[in-house]
Amino acid sequence: MTVPRDDDAASAASVTAAQDLLARIERDLGVGVLVDAVEDGEPFRIHALLSFGTLQREIEVTGDTEAGAWAELARRAAAWRTSDEVSLINQYWGG
């Protein structure tokens, strides 16, 4: 059994916290997030599909770390869901 170093444990905790935030955004704002690909490297990349009602948007986010990329995905999902694009379409066409 390998015991994680302190920085590995902190990194894992940061990733978990960012993923928990994303789950709350999905639940509270009703936006779906389907992660298509996660690419390790510099920068770390996540490809995802955001959805709300009949609306969908493909995005790619990056971060200096895995936790940073997950946090950016959560920010982008919340920003997209609360954007004028989604609000206007939902208001006039029922999403």
Does 92 have pLDDT greater than 70?
no
Q: How far apart are CA 27 and CA 68, in angstroms?
A: 21
pLDDT tens figures, 18-49:
889 989 999 998 999 999 999 999 999 999 99
Q: For the chain, list the domains and their CATH numbers.
A: 6-93 (3.30.160)
Q: How far apart are CA 62 and CA 38, in angstroms?
A: 10
Q: What is the mean pLDDT of the chain?
A: 84
pLDDT tens figures, 64-76:
999 999 999 999 9
Whole-model pTM? 0.78
